[in-house]
Each structure stands twice: as C-alpha cells, then as structure tokens.
Amino acid sequence: MSAPSYNFAYLDEQTKRMIRRAILKAIAVPGYQVPFASREMPMPYGWGTGGVQITASIIGPKDVLKVIDQGSDDTTNAVSIRAFFAKVASVAVTTRTREADIIQTRHRIPETPLAEGQIIVFQVPIPEPLRFLEPRETETRLMHALEDYGPMHIKLYEDIARHGHIATTYAYPVRVAGRYLMDPSPTPKFDNPKMHISPALQLFGAGREKRIYAIPPNTEVVSLDFEDHPFEVQRFDRTCALCGAAGVYLDEVLTDDKGARMFVCSDTDHCECRQAAPRLAEGA
Amino acid sequence: MRRAAPRPRFSGFDDPVFDAQMTFRAVMNATANPGRVEELSLLPDMPSRLAASLAAAALALIDHDTPVFLDRSFASDPDIAASLSFHTGCGFVEDPSCAAFALIGHPAECPAFSSFAQGTLEYPDRSATLFLQVEKLDNEAGLRLRGPGISDSRHLAAAPLPASLAEELAANRERFPQGVDLLLFNGSRLAALPRSTRVEG
C-alpha cells in the first residue's frame, strides 16, 4: 500500500464541487461576487489563496499552467504557486503565455494577447469595488442589487476636483456586461482594455474575502469615466531597456544607490521572447 | 454470517476525480460560451433513461449540499433516484423552489421556470440550475442567442422544449440578475443557456 497522499490538486472533491458550482454561477451572472466556502490553503492569505483554489478546482492532468506575479514568472509568489501545482497536480508548467491553458496571475494580464480557450485566473485581495466607500457588506450588497453606483462616480469626480485628472491607477472600477460594477483586482488600469471582449475566460478568486467572480469570453468590460474626462491608460515616454518594446507596461528598476534606474517590461515572458527574436522585435 | 455489501447496480464514473474534472470543464466551457455544443468523451455508467452527458454533469456537480428535484418522467424510474443518491449523497425535494438542481426528463412538461429558486437581488447565485434532457441538440438554425460569452450571435437548435419557452426565457432574462440557468443534454453532448443570454426567435 502506498503512503497516504493528497488528492489530485490538493483540494478534496467536495470542496472542488462547491467551488465549481460557484464558478458556474459566477459565469452566469458576469461580474457578480459569488460567496464560497474558502478553505485554508498551505500558504497565507494574501498569497493568492483564492486564485489557487480556483485553479485547483478547474485544472486537469493535461493542462499547462503559467503563473505570474506582477507580470513576472520568476518572483517568489509565482515560483511557489507554480511549484505547488507541479507537485500536487503533476501538471506541466510553462512561462510562455501562448503555451498555457491556465494562467494564474497576480495583478497583470500578459502583453501577448490571450486566445480562445485560455483561462486566466486572477488573485484578488479585496473583491468589493465599493468597500472603501461603504464598509458594510449588507449595504454594498444592496448597492449592487439596486445598481447604486453613483458613489463610485463621485469618487472618480473627487479625483478630478483634487488632481485635475482621474488619479486612480490600479483596481480601476469597470462595469461588466452593462450591469455589475467590478474590481478588476489591483491590475494597473493599463490592462483594463485587455479585459474588454477578451477571447479568454476570466475568473477571479478572493480567498480571505471568500468571493468568486467571472467575466465570460467576448463580454463588454467598460472602465468608468466621464464624457469630458475619458478613460485613459498609463503611457510611457520610453521603451523597455532590455528588449526595446514600446506600448507595454514598464517597471522602474533601481540599479545603484546613486539614483540610476532603468525601465523594463513587467511581463518577463514577453521581454524574453522579444530578446530571443530581435528581428521580430524591430517590426513591433 | 457476514454478507457482502450490496454493490451498486450502476457504477457511475470510472474515475470519480478525473472524470468529474473533465465533465466540469465541459460544463464550464458551455456556460462561458452559451449555446455552444460541447461533447463529453468520458461517460459514466448510470441508468439508461438518463442521457450520458446529463448523468455525468449530475455526478460532477451534485452532492449532499444540493437538493435535487426530479420531474415525473425521471421520478418514475426508481433506479435514477437510487443511483444519484448512492453516488452523490444528495437529497430529493418535491417542491421545485427548494431545489439547487432540477433534472427534467420531459422538458415539454417542465414546471414554469419561475417556480424554481430565482435567488435574491442581493444573492442571485442562490438560484436553481435546470438540467433539460432533449432529443435534438446542435448549432443549426433555431434559437438565436446574444449576450456575454457570444461574439455577435450564435444559433442553437434543441427539441423538445416547453411550448412557452420563448416567453419563459424572456421573463427569465427580465428578472436578471435573478433567474435560473439552463443546461441542455442530449446523448454525450451538452449546451448551456445561462440567465445572462438573450434569446431571439
């Protein structure tokens, strides 16, 4: 007899069924936060326990998994979650966006456009976009029920009154399919347009807050704005110092203690692919 | 004298873990792409009155947390309740409004969609999922679907369906975000009509 071991993908089957049912309801009501009985995972809250539980519930032995943290495949969070699934589900893992069936992400959407059939799983710290405006869950539930989203517009207006422009740069609120106000997780607003009419299924998991929500493929995702202050993404007046990419999200990296710095792609896979194929890079 | 435990007459999934996972992914893909017909390759051993895809989805999603409603045609075959109960541990309810899943073998006589749990405005997820077993299911011309998960529009042909389906579905969409979600099954195939989908013609 073999020694006792974990079930495939760590979670027990009853937990997976409960999460799977929540995912189906989340897809049926795009942008609505479905409560679920979040389990304790062998990693602390804030490390992506919501995303990990979704991935564990959907993944199969033939899937190829990619995990990114702020666009990077090689930071602690990404490496440890990738190793977790390689161990408990024996799945193939990759850093290549194109090769992945499931991409678990913390706060970025890859620069390489996602394809039909791919699933992107977001780790979400605070799923309720209205939470900082209204701390009571009973009230935010009611606000969603009544589509009472005026306070969010007021918050954005206050940005304009104070700073002259909408100063919200990440977790920028969106309306999904013309109905629910949704927090896109703390992705930079640079990535909001990638959620709109995406060919990939987008799933969001918040472990500590015990919520799952979803955006089906080909679904309208509109960032809130005003006629005279239309939604805009961050622009960078330079290109990646490593691969020369323009029009991508850049990270600022300090290189010494005298103030020298460089700007590089936050999406490490995108950057590596471009460095490996410099001729393609010139065309981009 | 010890007697051997009775063996179930229907053995369900060959591999409960991996077969349930593959079935769920097909149901999830169907729900994310409303109207698109998905094909299941791993099918369980369940009473033959149940379409194989319906039986697989039931085994993958139902458990002791989800009360099940059986319509008259499924309830008339005692093997169905017995095998579902054996493999999932589910309980059965007579009142459609108490069911998390409703298994409908004769969709033409399906109780009104509004008689099932609709969820509340605050918690629209507390609503029923209806499994309808149909004799025809493909992407030929039929219902014209629009909405989240559909690029432009998609066709779905299914029969038999309730005579008042168009009105029922329109009313279901009208109640959004409340409402029921439909899964349609035929042989090894399935398709979904979640409440977010608008149905024309």
At residue B35 the predicted structure's pLDDT band, cuts being 50, 70 and 90, is very high
- In this structure, is residue B118 part of a structural domain? yes
Tell me the HSE value of A238 on the side-chain side, using a 13 A CA sphere: 12
pTM score: 0.95
Is A240 in the active site?
A: yes
Residue reference for tokens 């410099």:
A278
- In this structure, is residue B8 part of a structural domain? no
- In this structure, is residue B145 part of a structural domain? yes
Cα angle A18, A22, A23; round to 5: 115
Are the CB atoms for A102 and A63 separated by under 8 Å? yes
Q: What would the mean pLDDT of B3-27 be, rounded to a whole number?
A: 88
Q: Do A28 and B31 touch (CB under 8 A)?
A: yes
At residue B86 the predicted structure's pLDDT band, cuts being 50, 70 and 90, is very high
Is A31 in the active site?
A: yes
What's residue A284's pLDDT?
45
What's residue B2's pLDDT?
59
From A206, A186, A202, select the one nearest A194 (Cα to Cα): A202
- In this structure, is residue B33 part of a structural domain? yes
pLDDT tens column, A233-258: 999 999 999 999 999 999 999 999 99
Distance from CA of B29 to the nearest CA of A (A): 8
pLDDT tens column, A8-62: 999 999 999 999 999 999 999 999 999 999 999 999 999 999 999 999 999 999 9
Is A273 in the active site?
A: no
For chain A, which residues score pLDDT lower than 50? 281, 283-284
Residues A134 and A129: their CA atoms lie apart, in Å, by: 10
- In this structure, is residue B160 part of a structural domain? yes
Among B125, B169, B178, pick the best mutation site for testing chain A contact (most A Cβ within 10 A): B125
Averaged confidence pLDDT in chain A: 94
Judging contacts by C-beta atoms under 8 Å, the chain A residues touching residue B145 are none
Q: Do A8 and B17 touch (CB under 8 A)?
A: yes
Query: Which helix or strand (DSSP H or E) is residue A78 part of?
Result: helix A76-88
Distance from CA of A234 to the nearest CA of B (A): 28
Q: What would the mean pLDDT of B30-39 be, rounded to a whole number?
A: 97
Residues B87 and B13: their CA atoms lie apart, in Å, by: 9
What's residue A279's pLDDT?
58
Are the CB atoms for B120 and A20 separated by under 8 Å? no
Judging contacts by C-beta atoms under 8 Å, the chain B residues touching residue A174 are none
Is B89 within 8 Å of chain A by CB? no
Residues A163 and A182: their CA atoms lie apart, in Å, by: 24
- In this structure, is residue B4 part of a structural domain? no
- In this structure, is residue B1 part of a structural domain? no
**Residue type at B20 in one-letter notation:** A
CB within 8 Å of A229: residues ≥ 6 apart: A160, A165, A166
What's residue B82's pLDDT?
96
Are the CB atoms for A93 and A82 separated by under 8 Å? yes
- CATH of residue B95: 3.40.50.11310
pLDDT tens column, B106-163: 999 999 999 999 999 999 999 999 999 999 999 998 899 999 999 999 999 999 998 8
Question: Which has more confidence, B49 or B4?
Answer: B49
- In this structure, is residue B113 part of a structural domain? yes
Query: Which 7-36 residues of chain B touch chain A by CB within 8 A?
Result: 16-18, 20-22, 24-25, 27-29, 31-34
Range of the domain at B32: 16-200
**Total number of domains constituting chain B:** 1
Is B41 within 8 Å of chain A by CB? no
Are the CB atoms for B15 and A13 separated by under 8 Å? no
What's residue A281's pLDDT?
47
Is B95 within 8 Å of chain A by CB? no
